[in-house]
Chain A
Amino acid sequence: MSITLVGIAASPGLATGPAVRHDGASNATVEPAATVAAASERVRDDLAARAARATSAEGRAVLEALVQFAVDPELVGGAQTMVDGGTAPPEAVRSVAAQFAEKLTSLGGYFAERAPDVIDIGERMVAALEGRAVAELPRPGYRHVLVAKDLAPADTATLDASEVLAIVTEQGGPTSHTAILARGLGIPAVVAVRGAREAAAGQDVIVDGDLGEVHVAPDPTLITALQQREERRRNRVSKTSGPGRTSDGVDVKLLVNVGTLADASAASEVDAEGVGLFRTEFLFLGRTDEPSIDEQVESYSQVLSRFVGRRVVVRTLDAGSDKPLPFLGLGEEENPALGVRGLRTAVSKPEVLDRQLTALASAAARTGAQPWVMAPMVATVSESRWFAAQARSAGLPTVGIMIEIPAAALRAHQLVAEVDFASLGTNDLAQYALAADRQQGELGALLDPWQPALIDLVAAACAGAERVGRPIGICGEAAADPALAAVLVGLGVRSLSMAPIAVNDVRALLADTDLATCKRAAAAVADAASAADARQAVWSVLKL
């Protein structure tokens, strides 16, 4: 009897195979390490041995970085100092690792991404001190679906992509380690599947990384139907390239999101028409002083120069008290998501925005690129008007606003009339529409981009922009889902900005779909009672 478990789609595609369970902790005992230093050495040796067996260059690099953490003199020395002061060794290691992880988390961006690694290393040292063996990933010797509570960074690095067909985890979100790894390897993954290990172990499963579903012991008709769907998808994707358009020739610009200089360099190689969201935070995060205008000009020029003749939409600094920047002078806030962030920071410190706009205009002049510039977190008409005036007087002629607050979506005709274009930020729009904090993992289902209420707000914003004759695009998770992209096009969106990996799938689906079908897909959402219903209805309209 087939059962279907629902989670969050984390990496697209479809795979079928026997589920093999991985339980992180092992029951095996080993000789406990006598000291913190001995634990550090044991973890180092273990990780170095894994690095030697790593299945990819990236995996080896991750493990080698973890080895460095394991032997870090401040981690080992700091823990030993606490032990000398009377703390039990496991508690000392956990405490020092937690301090470093907290520090990294507070820095945001790249630095924050390393925090789970520090915790992983701490836990490995604790296991060594307590005499517990660390469980290795299962190697059953046949191709399988890996089902785990969650994967540790060191696990993901030794994962054998020739044997693992797909990944299912009980924890994690769409941006967790597991999700990133799976997308990198090009294998399907579904995360946040409750009870997956119990339900799936030892059974044949189908992992549907497009819908975020896991079918346990599927019946043959379902298997055939899903396999045909996957085959159609592969066929579509292999056939298309070049600018995005629907099958009846409506142009839909396919753009990519860029958050760092390295992203920009990779993005310039992608078959896309430019950058739909250039996040400028990387220049500012973790700094005590604002970067100088010269430094900003230099960085912006590096990005712009790669896209001369293509569109680049630059978003001005989107910071707030959750990503503290000392030079913005923001205090502690109870609810950073509802506080002084985005364009609102320019109220007390307009000069930071002024200098950013000046630097962008110089970079544009220097490179010959014509960047579009937009402000994040715009709520009112007067904010929109004010930003447009600032940007234009800085010498940036094409000005826009992000629509990510429900108020802005509902009054889009007035806000967007003040500027030249609008871009929907569906991740924040979902957070505000469903009153679900993006940082709260257990609220993930409310943030599903298929939530009908979210799509209603998108529809309102599109109608508003159309009324005043301004183009509207999307940057956010929603644009990366091909079926949802068709809905958005049906609502009037004419540019989609996404992670580079999603571009081919979206291009292929649009190339197979005409505008009338996109509009029917959008209409189907209007009648749906849930995110799952909406997706189901649209898939049926699109015959996926």
Chain B
Amino acid sequence: MAERSVTVASSVGLHARPATLFTQAAAATGVAVTIAKDGGEAVNAASILAVLGLGVSHGETVTLQADGDGADTALDSLVDLLSQDLDADEPAT
């Protein structure tokens, strides 16, 4: 079981565009990845509804887990994604 913890850098947290980009990337890894907040319940990282349901805010730490072939590569790429402010180039509303 591979595991990584990462602090969410996006200013809106895991919501809107950052949540969409994250779940799409998680699905694209082809590996079953879970995401959890503060030792809470681990949910399917490829599910936008489950990820939104965690209610992750900016600056909170989440834990990603995956198993099997490609797990480490998949988690590294997702950690990299969450460490960026994914909302940065969105037009102001």
Contact = CB atoms under 8 A, between A and B. Distances in A.
B12 A110 contact: yes
A266 B92 contact: yes
A107 B52 CA distance: 9
A262 B93 contact: yes
B5 interface: no
A262 B11 contact: yes
B93 A100 contact: no
Interface string A189-216: 0000000000000000000000000000
Interface string A240-264: 0000000000000000000011100
B59 A291 contact: yes
A260 B12 CA distance: 8
Contacts of A68: 20, 23-24, 48
Contacts of A397: none
B11 A114 contact: no
Interface residues on A, range: 35 or more
A289 B56 CA distance: 11
A443 to B, nearest CB: 29
A118 interface: yes
B44 A100 contact: no
A283 B11 contact: no
A295 interface: yes
Contacts of A288: 37-38, 40
Contacts of A100: 49, 53
Contacts of A57: 91
A285 B57 contact: yes
Contact of A103 (B16, B23, B53): B53
**Centre residue among A68, A283, A291, A302 by max chain B CB count within 10 A:** A68
B15 A111 contact: yes
Contacts of B50: 72, 74
B57 A287 contact: yes
B87 to A, nearest CB: 8
A104 B92 CA distance: 24
A69 B49 CA distance: 7
B90 to A, nearest CB: 8
Contacts of A111: 15, 52-53, 55
Interface string B2-18: 00000000011101100
Looking at B43, B52, B56, which has the most chain A CB atoms within 10 Å of its CB? B52
Contacts of B91: 57
A350 interface: no
Given A68-B23, A269-B92, A288-B38, A114 B52 contact: yes
Contacts of A260: 12
Contacts of A289: 38
Contacts of A104: 52-53
Contacts of A265: 92
Interface string A391-428: 00000000000000000000000000000000000000
A69 B48 contact: yes
A68 B27 CA distance: 12
Nearest to B87: A262
A23 B38 CA distance: 45
A86 to B, nearest CB: 23
A65 interface: yes
Q: Which secondary structure dominates chain B's binding surface? A: loop
Contacts of A291: 57, 59
B20 A262 contact: no
Contacts of A118: 49
A342 interface: no
A302 B93 CA distance: 17
B72 interface: no
Nearest to B43: A74
B49 A74 contact: yes
Nearest to B44: A74
B46 interface: yes
Contacts of B52: 104, 111, 114
Given A68-B48, A69-B49, A283 B38 contact: no
A299 interface: yes
A400 B44 CA distance: 46
A287 B17 CA distance: 20
A113 to B, nearest CB: 9
Contacts of A287: 55, 57, 60
A283 B40 CA distance: 20
B47 interface: yes
Contacts of A286: 13, 55-57
A361 B58 CA distance: 21
Contacts of B57: 282-283, 285-287, 291
A10 B24 CA distance: 36
Q: Name the residue among B46, B53, B60 with the largest chain A CB count within 10 angstroms.
A: B53
Given A103-B53, A114-B52, A266-B93, A73 B11 contact: no
Given A100-B53, A285-B57, A73 B15 contact: no
Given A74-B49, A266-B93, 20 more contacts: A69-B49, A72-B47, A72-B48, A73-B27, A73-B46, A74-B43, A104-B52, A107-B53, A110-B13, A118-B49, A261-B12, A262-B12, A262-B93, A282-B57, A286-B56, A286-B57, A288-B40, A292-B59, A298-B59, A299-B58
Enumerate the 10 nearest inter-chain pairs by beta-carbon distance, A residue then B residue, closest first.
A286-B55, A107-B55, A74-B47, A103-B53, A266-B92, A100-B49, A295-B59, A68-B48, A72-B49, A74-B50
23 contacts: A58-B93, A65-B16, A65-B20, A65-B48, A68-B20, A72-B47, A72-B49, A73-B44, A74-B50, A75-B49, A100-B49, A104-B52, A107-B53, A110-B15, A111-B55, A261-B12, A282-B57, A286-B55, A287-B55, A288-B38, A295-B58, A298-B59, A299-B58
Interface of B: 11-13, 15-16, 20, 23-24, 27, 37-38, 40, 43-44, 46-50, 52-53, 55-60, 87, 91-93
